[in-house]
């Protein structure tokens, strides 16, 4: 049925096109075009009125010239004139010219809109479609303003032709995308949904697209579309391969419509109605079954169309993530494709499996294909397929296969395409950290990364290894030894020098005992690299050198010699010069004690989400990150593998200096300055609060030290927004705390950091610091799923009259939390007077459309505002006697719930906040403590005594304070800790 | 939101035979896109997939003789559905122009736009039935 014969239509146009094609050079072409332009211009300007045919022909030539890439500055008016022609062919060229050469000339827009208006009202379906296509192609705001109101009417009018409805639906879609505000929802929306039932499959095809777009912003208005879509899909899927006639494509019934319906369903959670859900599951099963049937045709079109539906079905199954049986079947089907001879299918199977790997139901099934995937990484010819294989390995990685996957990815890195090296480096670094069982493996892996692909190792990666080594004393010696060995290589990457320089500067002393790595050897090894390095690396090495002077006094003379050299002291680079001068002076004038204080070992870094992960997400662009990120954070692995909460050992260590934030134990005035960068967190926020001890203010040393610290890419301070007053919903809004709330709260009485709450969806981590009557708390909300949380709103509620006792300011957080992502909320807390009831934390959000709410007790108890007080035995006893009124004392005798270990008990009492006083109680087994509770209104002095009785496995706890409720409350809180 | 960003038909030499844009680009940007697509697509051979990542999108393409038919869509869109949409479109062109060749697209460029608009509109698939599209095109052809 040939519809067009060659040369048909406008002869003049064909001649002109031939001429252009015969031009031998660009110059000849331009010459020919200019001649034609002159000709057309004279015709348009001529006295003789042109007939429609000529006008059409010339406008079409102009269009052709424009499409060749030449500017056209006339002819618009003639094109607009064609719009009002009664002949289709003339009108069509007019509309085409307008659509391709959009012109914002306001005079013309008015004329064009007028012509469109006439055609829309013409009741001639051909003309109506031309006008609708023009609006859809141009999609400008002016057209939206002129026609947004008319098009819904045309779309749902009973007498509109099918083809007009198709065009109207998509035209409306375009206007909605361009300017949603111009398309108000109305009574037509319900009728649009019913187009899913339309007899004409083309109308349904167009309508599904429109509904899919509209329902994203107005899910409730369109939710009836779910059951209609399911029944439509069911009819298609269960039809025989020839039932749908015109809409059967290579024996596959309506493949595109099926795909669109399946995508529409992905805008909603699984249907609630059991019958609809049953019907849908049946459809999904049918699609999976059909995949196993022998093909009805050998043509690739048949298998492509069939598999288009299959992959979309699998996407929906993954979106629901609730049918283990279907997920595993999907995985098996994809497993077959992994070895298919069609590259397309292998690629798509790898891609689709990536998302399956993040479902807990199918993760294990995906893992069984590891060997095939590794093989793909090694043998696929198409780099994009290899990349998908690398993505999948990353997604399927867990504790059980991490070593294998990391080593395969490292091996692949040696030959990987340059385009994807950085991404592979990031992935290896993340996996190595996340699944490290022992950190020596982690250190080895990162150093291997630098060795193999040093150029692609970004700052984030090597900062991170330094943070981890700094925070974990079990790996520091190993790290020092390993970098020392790595630096022996004659040619080592500059990144290796950076890592080596930093680690040896901090931990070189751990390997200094071995004569092969004695201090002078370490120094000369580092210094042998110095001159070949960039300014930044040399600056870092200078800092290492001054640390060496502190660690190894025997190197002082050599290093001072280096610093003193003209090449340093008079270095043209101001940074290097300044460091050399300052370090030289510091090493000469400061006493050993001062030097040791200034150059003290770096304090542990606050644990936070790995910045590498953020970088990978950025690299993959929005949206893709969440699929890559392993949303199912393995709870058992979180302690060893960073994540958001500090390790238990850091939290509960008795030594105050081990506290992550270095704040819980206020140092006595003579103590060394608090670690840089940590001490002043509170001071600058509560600038009108009580003056901080001088030692906490920024000092010269601190600024000095902070340069040595690898920059923290995401300081918590950066997240500070305008403080929002704490949401204070009325009592009817407050949920009852969950049953475990008290138990969870008790865990935090003696510690400030850790995981407050965790379930399948959400993890809430806490990090807090308190000083005097002020506190700051960071809450970390981690979305453990792969689906975005919506309307996420955590708020703090003050039950009863707590409001007069405790002020909590919260910062607002984003209302959406992406799958696998974490958001942080900052709370500023001020204790106004003593209190008993903790504030409540109410967290509400929508997960997959279903509202979730959760109420917890916020771990803020009165003892957080303890200030430890040291005193001598006689002072203690004197005060003890002063507080001898019966109501000032609270006492409890209770059975031990935990093994009675003196060290643990000490740690808990220190964590509780009081000072521990030695040599006060005549019985050395007993513990005596003292402190002051700081509130804005008053201070409450507290004395406590804990007497363990090992034989009876009992304790007696006595509290004496100047306020009766405080004594009682502290006694209750503390008694639950042993 | 998922929709077609543009459709391109190019020959091996990089000459554009059809460019249909469903998103606002200025002329320089269009030219850049055309060149970039040509560069990424023509280096691939038959052993490669028909999909290639492109900026924040992906190109689904298929080669017919010396012509590359390329559709640019969102990364999470259905690759095979668009791959077959291309083929469906090519079969319609073939039927309409009676064994279509590159020259038909050159000389009848203004008709190709009509075919596209029948099958794709506003970046979405509008009509997939070859019978229905050809019937409509024949009807239009008979009009003056």
Contact B80 A381 (CB under 8 A): no
Measured between CB atoms, which of A173, A202, A256 is closest to B122? Answer: A173
- Say which residue, A598 or A660, is predicted with more confidence: A598
* Burial class, A323, CB count within 10 angstroms (exposed 0-12 / middle 13-18 / buried 19+): middle
Sign of CA dihedral A337, A341, A344, A346: positive
Contact A177 B107 (CB under 8 A): no
Q: What percent of chain B has pLDDT over 90?
A: 89
CA A275 from chain centre, in angstroms, equals: 37
Q: What string of DSSP letters covers A801-829?
A: GGGGTEEEEE----S-B-TT-EEEEEEEE
Q: Establish how many alpha carbons lie within 13 A of residue A776's alpha carbon, considering only the half-sphere containing its beta carbon.
A: 21
Q: With contacts defined as CB-CB under 8 Å, which chain A residues touch B108? A: 4, 8-9
Q: How many CB atoms lie within 10 A of CB A563?
A: 23
d(CA A417, CA A382): 11
Contact B56 A621 (CB under 8 A): yes
Contact A247 B129 (CB under 8 A): yes
Q: How many CB atoms lie within 10 A of CB A74?
A: 12
Read off the pLDDT band of A339 (50, 70, 90): very high
- From B102's Cα to the closest Cα of chain A, the distance in A is 12
Contact A247 B87 (CB under 8 A): no
b/e map of B121-140 (b: 16 or more CB within 10 Å)? Answer: bbbbbbbbbbebbbebbeeb
**Averaged pLDDT, B103-132:** 97
**Averaged pLDDT, A179-196:** 91
Read off the pLDDT band of A854 (50, 70, 90): confident
pLDDT of A635 reads 36
* Burial class, A104, CB count within 10 angstroms (exposed 0-12 / middle 13-18 / buried 19+): exposed
A784 token code pair:
């453990």
Contact A170 B122 (CB under 8 A): yes
d(CA A566, CA A355): 59
Q: Which residue carries 């990162």 as its tokens? A: A446
pLDDT of A103 reads 63
Contact A93 B110 (CB under 8 A): yes
Chain A nearest-CA residue for B15 = A68
Integer Rg of chain A from CA: 37
Chain A nearest-CA residue for B105 = A6
Q: With contacts defined as CB-CB under 8 Å, which chain B residues touch A5? A: 98
CA A414 from chain centre, in angstroms, equals: 29
- From A25's Cα to the closest Cα of chain B, the distance in A is 15
d(CA A456, CA A619): 13
Q: Which residue carries 């969950």 as its tokens? A: A738
Q: Which tens digits make up the pLDDT trace of A520-557?
A: 999 999 999 999 999 999 999 999 999 999 999 999 99
Q: With contacts defined as CB-CB under 8 Å, which chain A residues touch B138? A: 1, 3
- Does residue B118 contact residue B137 with C-beta atoms inside 8 Å? yes
Q: With contacts defined as CB-CB under 8 Å, which chain B residues touch A1? A: 95, 134, 138
Q: Mutate which of B78, B116, B135 to disrupt the A interface (most A C-beta within 10 Å)?
A: B78
Residues 6+ apart with CB under 8 A from A523: A545, A548, A552, A555, A558, A559
Give the C-alpha distances (Å, rounded to integers) separating A675 from A286, A541, A601, A698, A701: 64, 21, 9, 10, 10
Residue A334's nearest CA partner among A359, A300, A297 is A359
Residue A785's nearest CA partner among A816, A759, A761, A755 is A761
Measured between CB atoms, which of B109, B128, B131 is closest to A205? Answer: B128
Contact A209 B50 (CB under 8 A): no
- Does residue A685 contact residue A723 with C-beta atoms inside 8 Å? no
d(CA A493, CA A811): 44
Measured between CB atoms, which of B48, B81, B127 is closest to A255? Answer: B81
A443 token code pair:
């250190």
Q: Over 80: is that where the pLDDT of A821 sits?
A: yes
Residues 6+ apart with CB under 8 A from A728: A797, A798, A803
Cα angle A71-A72-A76, degrees, rounded to a multiple of 5 = 155
Q: Out of A18-27, A188-197, A276-285, A797-806, which region has the weakest mean confidence (pLDDT)?
A: A797-806
A814 token code pair:
């984003």
Chain A nearest-CA residue for B1 = A213
d(CA A660, CA A470): 12
Q: What string of DSSP letters covers B51-114?
A: EEEETTEEEEEEEETTEEEEEEEETTS-HHHHHHHHHHHHHHHHHHTTS--HHHHHHTHHHHHH
- From B66's Cα to the closest Cα of chain A, the distance in A is 17
Q: With contacts defined as CB-CB under 8 Å, which chain B residues touch A7? A: 107
- From A56's Cα to the closest Cα of chain B, the distance in A is 11
- Does residue A832 contact residue A805 with C-beta atoms inside 8 Å? yes
Q: What residue numbers of A does the annotated binding site cover?
A: 11-12, 43, 53, 57-61
Read off the pLDDT band of A665 (50, 70, 90): very low
pLDDT of A603 reads 82
Q: Establish how many alpha carbons lie within 13 A of residue A935's alpha carbon, considering only the half-sphere containing its beta carbon.
A: 19
Measured between CB atoms, which of A89, A247, A311 is closest to B80? Answer: A311
* Burial class, A524, CB count within 10 angstroms (exposed 0-12 / middle 13-18 / buried 19+): exposed
Contact B53 A384 (CB under 8 A): yes
CB pairs under 8 A between A and B: 182
Give the best-scoring range by mean pLDDT among A7-21, A152-166, A413-427, A868-882: A152-166
Q: With contacts defined as CB-CB under 8 Å, which chain A residues touch B133? A: none
Please state the φ and ψ torsions of residue A321, each to the nearest 5 degrees: 45, 40
Please state the φ and ψ torsions of residue A679, each to the nearest 5 degrees: -65, -30
- Does residue A262 contact residue A312 with C-beta atoms inside 8 Å? yes
- From B80's Cα to the closest Cα of chain A, the distance in A is 5
Q: Which tens digits make up the pLDDT trace of A505-523?
A: 999 999 999 999 999 999 9
- From B114's Cα to the closest Cα of chain A, the distance in A is 8
Q: With contacts defined as CB-CB under 8 Å, which chain A residues touch B125? A: 205, 209, 256, 260
Contact A347 B51 (CB under 8 A): yes
- From A307's Cα to the closest Cα of chain B, the distance in A is 7
Q: With contacts defined as CB-CB under 8 Å, which chain B residues touch A6? A: 103-104, 107
Sign of CA dihedral A659, A665, A671, A675: positive
Give the C-alpha distances (Å, rounded to integers) separating A443 from A397, A437, A499, A649: 19, 12, 11, 21
Contact B122 A623 (CB under 8 A): no
Q: Over 60: is that where the pLDDT of A160 sits?
A: yes
- Spell out the CATH class of B2-141: alpha beta
Residues 6+ apart with CB under 8 A from A898: A904, A978
Contact B84 A305 (CB under 8 A): yes
Residue A349's nearest CA partner among A317, A394, A385 is A385
Domain boundaries, chain B: 2-141
Q: Over 90: is that where the pLDDT of A735 sits?
A: no
Measured between CB atoms, which of A213, A308, A344 is closest to B49? Answer: A344
Q: Over 50: is that where the pLDDT of A692 sits?
A: no
Read off the pLDDT band of A282 (50, 70, 90): very high
Residues across chain B: 144
Mean pLDDT of chain A: 84
A868 token code pair:
């430890």
Contact B110 A382 (CB under 8 A): no
Measured between CB atoms, which of B48, B109, B136 is closest to A163? Answer: B136
Sign of CA dihedral A699, A704, A709, A712: positive
Residue A80's nearest CA partner among A41, A112, A119, A46 is A112
Q: How many CB atoms lie within 10 A of CB A117?
A: 14
Instruction: Give the strand pairing for A927-934 and A939-949.
Output: antiparallel
Residue A496's nearest CA partner among A446, A431, A535 is A446
**Averaged pLDDT, A141-161:** 93
**Averaged pLDDT, B36-41:** 96
B28 token code pair:
């320089």
Q: Which tens digits make up the pLDDT trace of A116-134?
A: 999 999 999 999 999 999 9
- Say which residue, A605 or A328, is predicted with more confidence: A328
Measured between CB atoms, which of B49, B88, B109 is closest to A384? Answer: B49
Contact B121 A64 (CB under 8 A): no
Read off the pLDDT band of A889 (50, 70, 90): confident
Local structure of A38: helix, strand or coil:
helix
pLDDT of A664 reads 34
Contact B49 A385 (CB under 8 A): yes
Give the best-scoring range by mean pLDDT among A31-40, A784-793, A879-888, A917-926: A31-40
Q: Mutate which of A1, A3, A126 to disrupt the B interface (most B C-beta within 10 Å)?
A: A3
Contact A247 B128 (CB under 8 A): yes
Residues across chain A: 978
Contact B75 A263 (CB under 8 A): no
Contact B114 A92 (CB under 8 A): yes
Q: Which tens digits make up the pLDDT trace of A378-436?
A: 999 988 899 999 999 999 999 999 999 999 999 999 888 887 888 899 999 999 999 98
- Does residue A657 contact residue A672 with C-beta atoms inside 8 Å? no
Q: Over 80: is that where the pLDDT of A328 sits?
A: yes
Q: Establish how many alpha carbons lie within 13 A of residue A111's alpha carbon, considering only the half-sphere containing its beta carbon.
A: 18
Q: Which residue carries 């007077």 as its tokens? A: A833
Across-strand partners of B68?
Answer: B10, B63
Chain A nearest-CA residue for B134 = A3
């Amino acid at each position: 049925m040939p519809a067009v014969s060659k040369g048909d239509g406008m002869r003049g146009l064909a001649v002109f096109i031939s001429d252009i094609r015969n031009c031998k050079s660009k110059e000849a072409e331009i010459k020919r075009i200019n001649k034609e332009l002159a000709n057309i211009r004279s015709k348009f300007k001529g006295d003789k009125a042109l007939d429609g045919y000529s006008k059409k022909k010339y406008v079409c030539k102009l269009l052709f010239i424009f499409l060749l890439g030449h500017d056209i500055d006339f002819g618009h008016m003639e094109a607009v004139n064609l719009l009002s022609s009664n002949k289709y062919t003339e009108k069509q060229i007019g509309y085409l010219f307008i659509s391709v050469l959009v012109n914002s000339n306001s005079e013309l827009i008015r004329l064009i809109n007028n012509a469109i208006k006439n055609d829309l009202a013409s009741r001639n379906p051909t003309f109506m479609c031309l006008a609708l296509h023009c609006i859809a192609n141009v999609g400008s705001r002016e057209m939206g303003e002129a026609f947004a109101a008319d098009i819904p009417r045309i779309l749902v009018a009973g007498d509109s032709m099918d083809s007009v409805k198709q065009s109207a639906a998509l035209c409306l879609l375009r206007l909605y995308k361009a300017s949603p505000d111009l398309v108000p929802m109305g009574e037509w929306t319900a009728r649009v949904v019913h187009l899913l039932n339309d007899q004409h499959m083309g109308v349904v095809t167009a309508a599904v697209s429109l509904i899919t777009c509209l329902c994203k912003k107005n899910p409730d208005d369109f939710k009836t579309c779910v059951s209609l879509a399911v029944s439509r899909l069911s009819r298609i899927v269960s039809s025989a391969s020839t039932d749908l006639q015109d809409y059967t494509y290579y024996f596959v019934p309506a493949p595109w419509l099926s795909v669109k319906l399946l995508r529409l369903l992905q805008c909603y959670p699984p249907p609630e109605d059991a019958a609809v859900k049953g019907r849908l599951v049946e459809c999904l099963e049918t699609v999976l079954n059909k995949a196993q049937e022998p093909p009805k045709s050998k043509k690739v079109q048949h298998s492509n169309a069939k598999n288009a539906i299959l992959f979309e079905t699998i996407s929906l199954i993954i979106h629901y993530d609730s049918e283990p049986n279907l997920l595993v079947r999907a995985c098996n089907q994809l497993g077959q494709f992994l070895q298919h001879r069609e590259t397309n299918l292998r690629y798509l199977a790898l891609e689709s499996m990536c998302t399956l790997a993040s479902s807990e139901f199918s993760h294990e099934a995906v893992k069984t294909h590891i060997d095939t995937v590794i093989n793909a990484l090694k043998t696929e010819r198409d780099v994009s397929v290899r990349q998908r294989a690398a993505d999948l390995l990353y997604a399927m990685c867990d504790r059980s296969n991490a070593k294998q996957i990391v080593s395969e990815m490292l091996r692949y890195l040696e030959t990987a395409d340059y385009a994807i090296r950085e991404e592979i480096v990031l992935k290896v670094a993340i996996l190595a950290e996340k699944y490290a069982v022992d950190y020596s493996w982690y250190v080895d892996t990162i150093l291997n990364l630098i060795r193999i692909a040093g150029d692609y190792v970004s700052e984030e990666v090597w900062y991170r290894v330094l943070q981890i080594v700094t925070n974990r004393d079990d790996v520091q010696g190993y790290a020092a030894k390993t970098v020392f060995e790595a630096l022996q290589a004659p040619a080592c990457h500059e990144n290796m020098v950076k890592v080596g320089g930093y680690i040896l500067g901090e931990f070189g002393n751990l390997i200094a005992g071995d004569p092969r790595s004695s201090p002078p050897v370490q120094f000369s090894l580092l210094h042998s690299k110095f001159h070949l390095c960039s300014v930044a690396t040399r600056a870092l090495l200078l800092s290492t050198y001054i640390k060496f002077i502190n660690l190894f006094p025997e190197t002082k003379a050599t290093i001072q010699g280096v610093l003193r050299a003209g090449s340093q002291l008079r270095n043209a680079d101001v940074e290097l010069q300044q460091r050399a001068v300052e370090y030289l002076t510091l090493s000469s004038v400061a006493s050993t004690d001062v030097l040791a204080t200034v150059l003290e070992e770096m304090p542990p870094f606050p644990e936070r989400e790995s910045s590498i992960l953020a970088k990978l997400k950025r690299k993959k662009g929005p949206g893709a990150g969440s699929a890559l990120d392993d949303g199912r954070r393995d709870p058992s692995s979180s302690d060893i593998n960073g994540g958001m909460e500090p390790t238990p050992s850091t939290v509960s260590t008795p030594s105050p200096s081990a506290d992550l934030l270095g704040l819980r134990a206020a140092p006595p005035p003579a103590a060394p300055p608090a670690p840089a960068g940590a001490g002043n967190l509170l001071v600058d926020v509560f600038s009108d609060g009580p003056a901080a001890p001088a030692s906490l203010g920024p000092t010269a040393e601190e600024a000095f030290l902070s340069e040595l610290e690898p920059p923290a890419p995401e300081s918590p301070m950066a997240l500070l927004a305008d403080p929002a007053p704490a949401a204070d919903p009325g009592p009817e809004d407050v949920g009852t705390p969950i049953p475990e709330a008290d138990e969870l709260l008790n865990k935090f009485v003696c510690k400030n950091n850790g995981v407050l709450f965790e379930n399948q969806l959400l993890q809430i981590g806490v990090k807090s610091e308190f000083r005097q009557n002020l506190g700051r708390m960071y809450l970390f909300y981690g979305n453990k799923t792969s689906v975005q949380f919506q309307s996420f709103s955590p708020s703090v509620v003050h039950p009863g009259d707590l409001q007069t006792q405790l002020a909590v300011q919260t910062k607002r957080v984003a209302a959406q939390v992406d799958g696998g992502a974490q958001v942080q909320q900052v709370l500023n807390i001020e204790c106004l007077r003593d209190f008993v009831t903790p504030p409540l934390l109410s967290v509400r959000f929508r997960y997959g459309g279903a509202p979730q709410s959760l109420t917890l007790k916020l771990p803020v108890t009165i003892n957080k505002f303890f200030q430890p007080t040291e005193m001598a035995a006689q002072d203690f006893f004197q005060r003890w006697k002063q507080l001898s009124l019966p109501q000032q004392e609270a006492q409890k005798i209770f059975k031990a719930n935990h093994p009675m270990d003196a060290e643990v008990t000490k740690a808990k009492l220190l964590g509780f906040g009081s000072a521990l006083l030695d040599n006060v109680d005549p019985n050395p087994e007993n513990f005596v403590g003292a402190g002051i509770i700081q509130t804005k209104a008053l201070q409450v002095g507290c004395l406590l005594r804990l007497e363990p009785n090992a034989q009876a496995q009992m304790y007696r706890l006595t509290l004496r304070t100047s306020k009766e409720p405080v004594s009682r409350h502290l006694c209750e809180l503390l008694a639950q800790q042993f | 939101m998922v929709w077609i960003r543009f459709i391109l038909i190019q020959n091996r030499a990089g000459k554009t035979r059809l460019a249909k844009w469903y998103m606002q680009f200025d002329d320089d940007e269009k030219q850049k896109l055309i060149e970039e697509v040509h560069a990424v697509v023509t280096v691939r051979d038959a052993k490669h997939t028909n999909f290639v990542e492109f900026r924040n999108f992906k190109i689904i393409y298929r080669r017919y003789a010396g012509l590359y038919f390329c559709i640019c869509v969102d990364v999470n869109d259905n690759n095979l559905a668009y791959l077959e949409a291309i083929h469906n479109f090519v079969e319609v062109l073939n039927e309409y122009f009676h064994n279509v060749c590159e020259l038909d697209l050159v000389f009848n460029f203004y008709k190709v736009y009509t075919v596209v608009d029948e099958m794709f509109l506003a970046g979405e698939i509008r009509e997939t039935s070859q019978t229905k599209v050809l019937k409509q095109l024949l009807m239009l052809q008979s009009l003056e």
